[in-house]
Structure 1
Amino acid sequence: MGKFLSAMALMAAGIAPTLANAQCYSVYDRDNQLIFQDTQSPIDMRQPVAEAIRKRFAPGAHLVFTPAGDDCTLIDKTAAPKALPSEQPGSDKR
């Protein structure tokens, strides 16, 4: 029983660094312009990746994921820009 617990502890210690490594997911369009980046996957990774990327982004887009560092800044150029609230005619704020 002691050997079994020792083996389990070694396995857990070996897995822990792998789980601690976050990923940085970057999506590039067909012109290799960065259009999305985050530490959270933009797609369900249980699906075929190429198909899921094609559905979520434009054809020709591709996903690159690397170990995340401090340089995995959130970028989402796919989101529609929000319109500024329009001013009501005659509502002059002074």
Structure 2
Amino acid sequence: MSVGLSIVPVSADNWRDCVGLAVHPHQREFVADVAYHLGLCVYGDTWNPVAVMPGDEGVGFAMWGMDSDQSRWIGGVVVDAGKQGRCSIPRAKPCRS
């Protein structure tokens, strides 16, 4: 079953859902807690947090940023352990120039 996926800015309404996300124990060495990433977003000037939501339920977190040289980045990607591998998201179509 395909599920529509929304990527929405983290807000006063959904930040608690994001902070509650956690990866599997064996993945913790590869990614920091969402609270750490939100701190980078709030107190830095590069990162912008987003919640990944199929429907109304938060399942993931990421942040995007743009450096002074206009390079763009995606970081802090977290998909909740309980949600990993549970939904089928349609494949993106290849970009054409």
Rg larger in 1 or in 2?
1
Q: Which has the higher helix share?
A: 1
Q: Which has the higher contact order (CA 8 A, sep 6+)?
A: 2
Please indicate the TM-score interval, normalised by the length of the shorter structure.
Answer: under 0.3
- Using the size of structure 2 for normalisation, the TM-score is 0.22
Q: Hey, which of these two has a bigger chunk of strand by percent? A: 2
